[in-house]
Structure 1
Amino acid sequence: MIVHTLRFAFKEDITEEEREHVLALMRRTASVESVSFGTVGQSLGEKDRFTHAYCVGIADMDALRRYMHDPVHLAGDPQILPYLSRIAIGPDLSDDMTPTLATDILALHEEKLTLYPEWAAQIGPLLADR
């Protein structure tokens, strides 16, 4: 199982209705076929930087690839990202002890950045610590 996490903060000027809409879009993404379990809600740490978190459990690398390219996921990000001020990807974790797993996951992420340059341009400025 690969457990993928995001921590994020909303822009200060969005409405409560917009915030709830974004969280609903994230919950929709967290419920696609390739996801074994998911949750979206408040972040319980680093309240000064990240107010919310997203976590999904994904069975294996094949499921991760499907998740990353799922039409629901691809359609949701452009509707979600404009409302966020920052994102931290990870830390992810896994019970799969394959020594190259972290590198393999990073390669999938890099592949997605290359395949979807508009997504890369949208998410890049939001990444924390860049």
Structure 2
Amino acid sequence: MITNVLRFTFKDETTEEERAEVLALMRRTASVESVAFGTVGRDIGDPAEGFTHAYSASLQDLDALERYLHDPAHIEGDWTILPRLARLAAVRFTDDPDPDAATRVAALHTAKLAKYPEWERLLHAIPA
């Protein structure tokens, strides 16, 4: 299992309607075919860290991760989601004992960045 957790906060100028739209798009992404388990909600960690919400998607294996990364619902939603985020931090973990698992996951992410340069620009515009 590979799990991707995103902690984020919205830009101050993001309206309540836009926030609701972002959360709905994230819930849609967290429920695509390749996701074994996903959730979206309030971040209840340390408020001093500045994150207000979190997203999680767990995928069975690398094949599922690759499908997830390129799923049209994921790609299309990000065009609306990413410009509305003020901060974003990712944590990825796996129960796969393969010592190369992190390298393989990183390679899939790097391939996505290369395939979608505008997506990469939007992603890297958000401070961690």
Q: Same fold by TM-score, threshold 0.5 exceeded?
A: yes
Provide TM-score, normalisation by structure 1: 0.94
Q: Which residue of 2 aligns with 1:40?
A: 40
1:68-79 equivalence runs, <5 A: 68-79=69-80
Aligned pair count reads: 127
SS in 2 for 1:32: coil
**Counterpart in the other structure of 2:63:** 62
Cα distance in 2 for residues equivalent to 1:17 and 1:42:
16
Task: Determine the structure 1 residue equivalent to 2:52.
Answer: 51
Residue of structure 2 in register with 1:124 after alignment: 124
Cα distance, 1:47 vs. partner? Answer: 2.4
1:13 alignment partner AA: E
- 1:46 deviation in Å? 3.6
Residues 127, 97 of structure 1: alpha-carbon distance in 2 compared, 3 angstrom cutoff: farther
- Match for 1:34: what amino acid? S
Give the Å deviation of 1:89: 1.3
Task: Please name the residue that 1:27 is paired with.
Answer: 27
Rounded Cα–Cα distance in structure 1 between residues aligned with 2:79 and 2:46: 26
**TM-score, normalising length from structure 2?**
0.95
Matched, 1:2 2:2: yes
* Partner of residue 103, structure 1: 103
Is residue 86 from structure 1 mapped to residue 78 from structure 2 by the alignment?
no
3-state secondary structure, aligned to 1:99: coil
- Unaligned 5+ segments in structure 1 are none
Shift of 1:86: 1.2
Give the CA deviation at 1:3: 1.0
Distance in 2 of aligned mates of 1:7 and 1:46 = 12
Larger CA deviation: 15-24 vs 60-69: 15-24
Q: Which aligned runs of 4 or more in structure 1 are off by greater than 4 angstroms?
A: none
What SS does structure 2 have at the residue aligned with 1:126?
coil
Identity in percent: 55
Task: Report deviation, 1:17.
Answer: 1.4
Change (3 A) 1:111 1:127: farther
CA distance in 1, matches of 2:21, 2:75: 17
The alignment yields a C-alpha RMSD, in angstroms, of 1.0
2:75 partner SS: helix
